[in-house]
Amino acid sequence: MLREMVVTDLKVRYQNSVLGYIWSLLKPLFLFAILYIVFIFIIPLGKDVEHYPVYLLTGVVVWNFFTEATTMGTMSVVLRENLIRKISIPTFLIVLASQCAALINLGLNLIVIFIFSILNGIQPGVDWLLLVPLVVELFMLTFGISLFLSSFFVKYRDILYIWEIATQAGFYATPIIYPLMSVPSCLHKWFFINPMAQIIQDARYIIATKTSVNMWSTIHSAAVIIPFMMVSLVFVVGVVCFKQRSRFFAEDI
């Protein structure tokens, strides 16, 4: 059932589209191209960053997955209301299906990043396998947020608009378009309270450049577990809220 819902999500998303699934690759590439032109030729923020194109593309792809997964996850239960009314299924599977569909797109985009990295002279290494736990951490974060938001979106449709504003603000609060090294070093540790900043910077360190500021080189104490604790907390809170509110989905939709 989960597989069928994932396949259906992907088909509906690109229904009546000429390019179909190719849009999952083109959207981040177009955004990357715009940001690259602006921040290399107009406002040269990335001129001192090694392999800045890969550095920038990695941040864009990871953030796009975050926004796509949480936005689709928020609406997933409402979009599947007919399924909830007709069939008795674990409702969390509906949210999980939206996350898996977004994860497939992330996988395709990571392949593009790998190819782009090799073309930019970056040698692939075994350390690229460290992306796996980062993707797991990212998936837990988006799944937890999606469970939490979707449980309230069923009754309060303003949730989606609030989240869109929050993600837009988060895009600029997270070092995606600007290098973290351009921020005063005394503020670096505060950026890593944001799990998305930690995930993006660690991914850049693994793929693009070892000069990328990452959590492990910034925080030399037990405080390095804070982002992971926050992800775990978000996941647990999301599960608890969803479990409590799912009993009333059929009435609230």
What are the tens digits of pLDDT across the range 87-105? 777 888 899 999 998 998 8
User: Position 102: which residue type?
Assistant: A
Measured in whole angstroms, the distance separating CA 149 from the mean position of its chain's CA atoms is: 15
Q: Are 102 and 72 in contact (CB under 8 A)?
A: yes
pTM (predicted TM-score): 0.86
Residue 13 token pair: 């998303």
Q: Is the pLDDT confidence value at 144 over 90?
A: yes
Residue 122: pLDDT band (50, 70, 90) is confident
For 61-97, what is each residue's pLDDT tens digit? Answer: 999 999 999 999 999 888 887 777 777 778 888 999 9
pLDDT of residue 237: 96
User: Quick one: which of 76, 28, 14, 90 has its CA closest to 56?
Assistant: 28
For 21, 44, 153, 197, 201, the CA distances from 123, given in Å and listed in that order, are 29, 26, 45, 24, 19
Q: CB neighbours (10 Å) of residue 138? A: 23
Tokens read off for 161 = 């608009």
Q: How many domains does the chain have?
A: 1
Rounded Cα–Cα distance for residues 67 and 176 (Å): 13
Cβ distance 192 to 226 under 8 Å?
yes
Task: Give the DSSP letter of residue 183.
Answer: S
Sign of CA dihedral 46, 51, 57, 63: negative
**Residue 210 pLDDT class (50, 70, 90 cuts):** confident
Could you list the residue range(s) of the whole structural domain that residue 42 is in?
Answer: 2-252
Cβ neighbour number for residue 103 with a 10 Å cutoff: 19
